[in-house]
Amino acid sequence: MIQPTLFSKNSEIKIFKLNVFLITVTGILMCGCAAANNTEPIAQQVINTEYQTLVLETVTDNLEHPWSVAFLPDGRYLITERPGRLLIIDGNTRTPVQGLPDIHAVGQGGLLDVVLHPDFEENNYIYLTYSKPDGNGNTALALCRAKLENTRLIDLEDIFIQNHYSGTGRHYGSRLAWMNDGSLLMSIGDRGAEPLRAQDRDDHAGTVLRLNDDGTVPDDNPFASSETGSQYVYSYGHRNIQGLVVDLESGMVWATDHGPRGGDLLVKILAGHNYGWPIVTQGLDYRTQEPYPFTQSRRKEGITPHTYDFGPTLAPSGLTLITTAQFRRWQGNLLAGGLRSERIRRLVLQTHDEFVEVIHDEELLLGLIGRIRDVREGTDGSVYILTDLPDGAFYRVKPR
C-alpha cells in the first residue's frame, strides 16, 4: 500500500499506519454486562506502532457523546457528556454530579470541557465550559467554576460569558488549559455563521482568551488596557480550536484548529498574534470546492503562519503533550485526536531557535475506536481517550 506523504516547511514527513496484531478480551461479565474499573479493564487490544507496543484498554463504555475528562486526585475520573451531564467514574460505578448550570445542548453545544484548578486538593474548584441560553433561542459559550463536594457542585458561578450570543449551534471551540503562571486559556470558535467575527478583537468569537482563575483580566494580557471585549483576548483569527495544551516546562502553547474543507492546522499560540481566519486559510469552501469566499491568500504579511497543515482531513479535537517516562520514545511529542478521520496523529517536534517544525507524523488507531474527541496524558502517565459517539467509550493506553 502506498502511504500518503505530507510536507512541512523543510521536511518530508511520511504518515505510517499502525498494525493491530492481537485482540484479547479480558473483561469480566456481570449480569450480562461487561464490568469496568480502573484496574480491571473490560477489554484489551495489543497494538504495534513504530516505536511503542501499546495496550489499549476500555475503561468504561456506553457514554453519550463524552467531551472531556479530568483526573481526580483519588484516581476517579470526571467526564462530561455533551447533552448536559457530568459523571464521576469510580470503578464499576458512574454517578451523575448534581448542581450543573442551565445548559442548552444544541448542535455542537452542550456541556463541554472540564478541568480542575491547579490547587484542587486545597480548594476543590472545577471549571466547566457550556453553551448558555439567553431565553430567545441563542447561546454563548460560558465558563463557570464551582466546588465539588461529594457528588454535588456548590458555590457555582459563571466567571465568564462570551460577549455576543448567536443563533447557530456550531463552533464553540471550548478547550481550557492552565498556563504555568496560574492563568487559564480558553478557546472560542467563530460560531459558524459570520467567520469575519474572528478578525474583530472586540468580539470573543474566533479567539483564545486568557483569564485569571476568578475570571478577571490578567494585567499583562496583550490588549489588557482596552475597555472593550479585547482585554480578555490572548490571540485571534481562529476558526474552531478544539485541541489546546500548554508545555508547562517551556511555557509554549499549542492548539489544533479546524479548517473548512482541508486546512486543519497545528498552531503555536503567541500573545497578541492574529492567525488569519478567514482571510488566510489553507482550506476550501465546503460547497463549491473553491477558495473560501473571504480568503485573500494562503499567507499574508501581518498574519502569524501555522506550524503544520494536517493535509488530509483530521477534524481535530483533543491534544496532549507526552511528558511521562512511561512513553520514553514519545517524550516531547504531541498527540492530536481526530473526529471525522477517526485517528490520532503523533507529531515529533524540532526546535530551531524560535522556529519549531514537525519533522515526523505517525498515524495511530486509524478507524479502530471511532471519532476521537479528547486525548489526555493522565496523572498516572497513561494516555486517555474519549470517543464522540452516541455510545462513546473511555480508553486508557499504556506501553506494553
Among the listed residues 350, 171, 371, the one whose alpha carbon sits nearest the alpha carbon of residue 257: 171
CA distance 348 to 308: 11
| Omega cis (within 30) before 41 | no
- Which residue is catalytic, options 65, 171, 258, 273? 171
Ordered strands of the 241-246 beta sheet: 241-246, 253-257, 265-269, 308-309
% helix, strand, coil for the chain, step of 5? 5, 45, 50
Residue 171 annotated in active site:
yes
Q: Is residue 225 within a helix (H) or strand (E), and if so which, with residue range?
A: none
Q: Is 355 left (phi over 0), alpha (psi -120 to 50) or beta?
A: beta
In Å, how far are 22, 233, 344, 378, 393 from 41, measured between CA atoms?
16, 42, 21, 16, 12
Instruction: Answer yes or no: are the C-beta atoms of 126 and 145 closer than 8 Å.
Output: yes
Report strand pairing: 12-17 vs 355-364: parallel
- DSSP letter at 400 equals -
CA distance 137 to 269: 33
CA angle 58, 62, 63 (to 5 degrees): 95
CA distance 278 to 297: 10
- The torsion angles phi and psi of 332, rounded to 5 degrees, stand at 85, -5
Catalytic residue ranges: 171
